[in-house]
Amino acid sequence: MATRSPEAIEAFCLSAQRHWSAQGGRRSQVRDVLARIIAAQELPFTAEQLLSEARRSDRGISQASVYRTLGSLVEAGLLNEFIGPGQLRCYNLVDTAHPGVSNIVCTDCRQVVPLQDDCLPLREGFLAKQLGFTPSKMSLRIEASCEELKRTGTCGRRKTTQG
């Protein structure tokens, strides 16, 4: 999994700690480990991938702790949750520069490719307003086949660690 800058990681961890403190929670080693790993992610990830990576740092981290932490960070508005390959829940950090969650899910290699198009939320929000709705959250999920895989037999986006 890719990493973000140390400043971005610290800012995310601080925001998470503020949220937990405001909810009456306390700081814990498990939360610190999970927040740091989550903050380092540039690509979408699943709870299972997070648990696997977290157990490299602390073998005692439970699946329940991972799911509670993810739910709490989604509630705090720090993470997006969306349906990825195989109907698995996937997560990525909220990007305030690119509102909404838009992804292409490759049906061939099961990769999630984030779409960062500032026009998507504008177009979709305009359409919702025309139909009499005020959007509060938007997500777009496109399932597609990989043209590179069809053409060459390999996919440059395929994760080398995925099996």
**Which of 4 and 47 is assigned the larger pLDDT?**
47
Checking if the pLDDT of 100 tops 70, the result is no
Q: 23-62 pLDDT, tens per residue?
A: 998 889 999 999 999 999 988 899 999 999 999 999 999 9
pLDDT of 163? 36
Query: Could you tell me if 20 and 89 lie in one domain?
Result: yes
pLDDT of 96? 67
Boundary-marking domain end, from 51, 66, 94: 94
Judge whether 56 lies within some domain: yes
Boundary-marking domain end, from 49, 79, 94: 94
**Which of 125 and 15 is assigned the larger pLDDT?**
15
Average pLDDT, integer, range 134-143:
78
Question: Looking at residue 10, which CATH number applies to its domain?
Answer: 1.10.10.10
pLDDT of 1? 43
Domain span at residue 119 reads 96-154
Query: Could you tell me if 40 and 67 lie in one domain?
Result: yes
pLDDT of 161? 37
pLDDT of 71? 95
pLDDT of 117? 74
Question: Looking at residue 142, which CATH number applies to its domain?
Answer: 3.30.1490.190
The residues facing 82 across adjacent strands are 90
Query: Could you tell me if 1 and 78 lie in one domain?
Result: yes
Give the list of residues 6+ apart from residue 21 with CB closer than 8 angstroms, or none: 27
